[in-house]
Amino acid sequence: MIITRILAQNALKYRDKTALIERAPSSKTRKTLTWDQFFRSSNALANALDQYGIKKGDRVIQLMTNCLEWLPIYFGILSTGAWAVPLNFRFESDKILLCSRTAQAKVFVFGEEFIDRIEAVKDELDTYVTLWIFTGPLAQCPDWAVHYPLFVENHSEEAPPPVELDLEDDAALYFTSGTTGTPKAVRLTHQNLAHACHAEQAHHKQTRDDIFLCIPPLYHTGAKMHWMGSFLVGGKCVLLKGVTPQWIIEAVSEELCTIVWLLVPWAHDILIAIENRQIDLKNYTLSQWRLMHAGAQPIPPSLIQSWQTYFPGQEYDTNYGLTESTGPGCIHLGIQNADRIGPIGLPGYGWEARIVDEQGNSVVGEDSGELIVKGPGVMKEYYKNPGETARTIKNGWLHTGDIARYDKEGFIWLVDRKKDMIIYGGENIFPVEIENFFLTNNKIKDIAVIGVPDDRLGEIPAGIISVKPGWILCENDIIEFQKDLPRYKRLKKIFFGDVPRNPTGKIEKPKLRKIYARTEETRDDPKSNIA
């Protein structure tokens, strides 16, 4: 079923029940939206866009931080038959221009945080954007934009425009996070989005009584597709604006949240806050919190072991996915397998998976190879990029670019990104294995391992290490700690500094390579090796 029809059903069944809650701890505000208000808001926008001339197949960009209006606007765009084009709210002007040029959108919906970034490239954007819709405060609305409430005013809220939509129709254009280079435009259909709802609900068994805490950005498929399991059954969702350990635990406690999806850095920070006694769990209502699931990057086993110490009996799941697979769920561990810490799991609901060598042959035993997946969530294409599409989708199989292996029981383990692999004197080194080893050190908050060019060996492994607050580590401590690693996997260069991550929790290794992976002659040592 088209997801806009699911929204209509929820509005009919659960009319005055709360659908969305926006919590903004920094301003101490809380706003709510019922299912009926959600539906009517999306209809008003859809009819306003329809009257403006937006038709099936047009593109509408959405550049907003998480807020109560985000999802109604998204559904309003879909209801016209246009493609929703959510953009990463961290994109600077050049990336906004690049993605907008690819999408050739007629309408651009944006919040107040992005005025300066847009104005820097607006002359070029105006070659195809004919309508700018501003969602921020009226007093800040630029004179070249229309204020969102004024744009939808006096348009019907009763029903969306009469547009025939089929599951095979195009629905959205999502841009990859760009952790391995320039963001690519992923073209998704209504079938892709609908399957995400059913896969998520099949995996986590959401009911109307579950309350989902949504923290990651809605522009990304991860947060939205996890929410869609609750959306399918009319469950409540809490949108948390801002991330601190206290704010997360307070939201769970005060809103009685039952399901939370956490990125690894947030889970780490919560554990640190508990260890440092900044958070006393006895002061919060957490017994209803039944499921914590994580994804978007390899999950360190040591993290989950520590988590289960503080939250015994809580269900756990690992989810794996890509923008190209319509977000998470093509591989998932499964709540029933939560005692197996380490693997990413088994093929998800409706999915198949294989691990193949360079020739496309299935690997045997516990050898490593590229993970490929096949199912209803596979993207239609990389928009306007047939070459990359052909390299990525072969005979219906999506080649993920991730290196994986099976264990003896058939569970899939994620080894690393194919592009992140370090070739050290002919030996293949997977950074994730080294990162997971170092994260067992209770003084290390985060670590990124990258390859640094070396004239003799090709590449050598280097580590950028972030130390937990209140602890001290020096290079000799790291050298001593890593003696349990095979010699070829030991860090040959050690740096102490921040480990940058994007909004979905992935380490921004291209950024680190620019800083640390240049030759000695051209690199100024960014930080001392002593913390």
Q: What is the pLDDT of residue 418?
A: 67
Distance of CA 144 to the CA centre of its chain: 32
3-state helix/strand/coil string of 135-186: CCCHHHCCCCCEEHHHHHCCCCCCCCCCCCCCCCCEEEEEECCCCCCCCCEE
- Work out the pLDDT band at 410, boundaries 50, 70, 90: very high
Q: What are the pLDDT digits (tens) for 212-271?
A: 999 989 998 888 899 999 999 999 999 999 999 999 999 999 999 999 999 887 898 899
- Rounded to a whole number of angstroms, the CA Rg of the chain reads 23
Q: What is the pLDDT of residue 381?
A: 97
Q: What is the pLDDT of residue 523?
A: 39
Q: What percent of the chain has pLDDT over 90?
A: 70
Q: Is 398 exposed, middle or buried (0-12, 13-18, 19+ CB in 10 A)?
A: buried
Going by C-alpha positions, the residue among 423, 223, 190, 231 that lies closest to residue 321 is 223
- Asked whether the beta carbons of 491 and 483 are under 8 A apart, the reply is no
For residue 296, pLDDT over 70 is answered with no
Q: What are the pLDDT digits (tens) for 345-401?
A: 999 999 999 999 988 999 988 788 999 999 999 999 999 999 999 999 999 999 998
- Per-residue b or e along 348-378, where b marks 16 or more CB atoms closer than 10 Å to that residue's CB: bbebebbbbeeeeeebeeeebbbbbbbbbbb
Q: What is the pTM of this model?
A: 0.83
The average confidence (pLDDT) of the chain is 90
Q: Is 469 exposed, middle or buried (0-12, 13-18, 19+ CB in 10 A)?
A: exposed
Q: What are the pLDDT digits (tens) for 19-64?
A: 999 999 999 999 999 999 999 999 999 999 999 999 999 999 999 9
Alpha-carbon gap, residue 189 to 378, rounded angstroms: 9
Beta bridge partners of 239: 22, 214
Alpha-carbon gap, residue 71 to 283, rounded angstroms: 33
Helix 264-275 with 301-310: angle, nearest 10 deg: 50
- Asked whether the beta carbons of 376 and 197 are under 8 A apart, the reply is no
Domain 423-516 falls in which CATH fold?
A: GMP Synthetase; Chain A, domain 3 (3.30.300)
Over range 302-324, report the average pLDDT.
Answer: 91
**Alpha-helical runs (H) found in 312-470:** 386-392, 431-438
Q: Is 418 exposed, middle or buried (0-12, 13-18, 19+ CB in 10 A)?
A: middle
- Work out the pLDDT band at 297, boundaries 50, 70, 90: low
Which amino acid belongs to residue 244? T
Over range 155-163, report the average pLDDT.
Answer: 96
Going by C-alpha positions, the residue among 259, 282, 268, 281 that lies closest to residue 213 is 259
Q: What are the pLDDT digits (tens) for 485-496?
A: 888 889 999 999
